[in-house]
Amino acid sequence: MKDHDAIKLFVGQIPRNLEESDLKPLFEEFGRIYELTVLKDRFTGMHKGCAFLTYCARDSALKAQSALHEQKTLPGMNRPIQVKPADSEGRGEDRKLFVGMLGKQQSEDDVRRLFEPFGQIEECTILRGPDGASKGGFWGAGGAPHGCRHPLHGSQTMPGASSSLVVKFADTDKERTLRRMHQMAGQLGIFNPMTIQFGAYGAYTQAIMQQQAALMAAAQGTCLNPMAAIAAAQMQQMAAFNVSGLVAAPLTPSSGTSTPPGISTAPVPSIAAPIGVNGFSPLPPQSNGQPASEPIYTNGIHPYPAQSPTVADPLQQAYAGMQHYAAAYPAAYAPISQAFPQQAPIIPQQQREGPEGCNLFIYHLPQEFGDAELTQMFLPFGNVISAKVFVDRATNQSKCFGFVSFDNPTSAQAAIQAMNGFQIGMKRLKVQLKRPKDANRPY
DNA sequence: TACTATT
């Protein structure tokens, strides 16, 4: 039914409304199809926008690849179709050998002759330095099962080499990338846990911790009204803006004395609750006589004295401070207070996208941000039904962009207003509506 | 660096 050397192809950039039956005609013109499967989500059955395609004949696959790959764009797609051997075809991995300790003057042909007895050689390249001199290694191919030493390994010492021949499986792309990252990480010290907390992004980490404290306050205080959630989120915003460098006041989480600019610098009372190791205070129990809203102020940001004789309700104070702050930074703050829904529990991620106008594309995320941090960051603006940071499949490293979906457009707009241009370190977040699938349709 | 896929 199918040739033994048939190639399974991965097909990407397929509109989600096209099923196998729609795709078949497109691919059939290159040969008889053995199998065509649109990829679906295991749980939701959702069309993933890609497929696997196997032709009966290897040649058909090659023809389809060269005719279609990056050559044509299916209706409604922004990028051209992808047609290439599936990862499962194992190209490039498990079949490439590294050979070290070659003689400086050995050529590709010498090496080919050496390895010919072990099987057909696909490719053989000697790695050379800038001066053209051999660096003593080459990439070749030849059969030896994993876990087994190649018969040539250590078998002989080439003229001029300092030790015997080295033959092993070459690093995969992933291994190479990881190795490079480790080298870089070593220079930057970013794999040191201390610097994750207190290094380049330390201030931002603190802001996140404060946000979490604020969210805890909003979620746990059963007596809190929606305004508390707003105030909590706004407090966090202030903290984050401190971090951004837009605000001169130092952010000292444990000091409890930072104040946003433009806000009363009257003496701030010390925080009664014990300061946790993370720099924010645990919530005081409701029974200790504290007002329910007090936890909001335990983030180390306390814009107004709680005991001020002129204003009784701390929440009112918080809101006043928030408006005051919003007045100073209208572009960043104006729309939030209107658009704030009540905090809701995090919905488990099953649905990927919200309705049109509810899905955000976020760029310039810090490298260390994952789905959880992205969720945290956007939770203050509404029900986050999905938050996904895109990661490189080979390295598991963030690509520094992601998607956040809300259940309503108002939240999405509020998030854009507040977070677009939000400065983190040297970068500013870009937060905008995800491009609609149909690029022609204005929204 | 730029818009979610590799059973």
Q: Which nucleotide is nearest to A432 (CA to C1')?
A: B3
Q: Which nucleotide is nearest to A434 (CA to C1')?
A: B3
Helices then strands, each counted (H, E), chain A:
12, 14
Residue A211, C-beta contacts closer than 8 angstroms, at least 6 positions apart: A233, A236, A239, A240, A376, A377, A380
- The model carries a pTM of 0.50
Q: Which residue is nearest to nucleotide B2 (CA to C1')?
A: A363
Q: Which nucleotide is nearest to A386 (CA to C1')?
A: B4
CB contact at 8 A, A319 and A299: no
Nucleotides of B under 7 A from a protein CB: 1-7
Closest among A92, A9, A95 to A58, alpha carbons compared: A9
A403 CA, B2 C1': Å apart: 12
A223 CA, B2 C1': Å apart: 44
CB contact at 8 A, A15 and A76: yes
Q: Quote the CA–CA distance of A48 and A15 in Å, as a whole number.
A: 9
Classify strands A33-40 and A384-391 as parallel, antiparallel or unpaired.
Answer: unpaired
Q: Quote the CA–CA distance of A9 and A2 in Å, as a whole number.
A: 14
Q: Which residue is nearest to nucleotide B7 (CA to C1')?
A: A39
Q: Quote the CA–CA distance of A163 and A440 in Å, as a whole number.
A: 64
A341 CA, B2 C1': Å apart: 30
CB contact at 8 A, A142 and A149: no
Q: Which nucleotide is nearest to A88 (CA to C1')?
A: B6
Q: Which nucleotide is nearest to A430 (CA to C1')?
A: B2
CB contact at 8 A, A405 and A325: no
pLDDT tens for chain A, 443 residues long, are 899 999 999 999 999 999 999 999 999 999 999 999 999 988 888 899 999 999 999 999 999 999 999 999 999 998 999 999 998 887 555 667 778 888 878 888 888 888 887 876 766 777 776 555 565 455 444 444 455 678 888 888 888 888 888 887 776 666 666 666 565 554 444 433 333 333 334 444 444 444 444 443 333 322 222 223 333 333 344 444 333 333 322 222 233 333 332 223 333 323 232 332 332 222 323 333 333 333 332 332 222 222 333 333 322 333 333 333 333 333 333 333 333 344 444 444 555 788 999 999 999 999 999 999 999 999 999 999 999 999 998 888 999 999 999 999 999 999 999 999 999 988 999 999 998 775 444 43
Q: What is the pLDDT of residues A289-315, one digit of tens each?
A: 333 333 332 332 222 222 333 333 322
Residue A328 corresponds to which tokens in the numbers above?
């100073």
A47 CA, B7 C1': Å apart: 12
Domains in chain A with CATH codes: 8-85 (3.30.70.330), 96-176 (3.30.70.330), 359-433 (3.30.70.330)
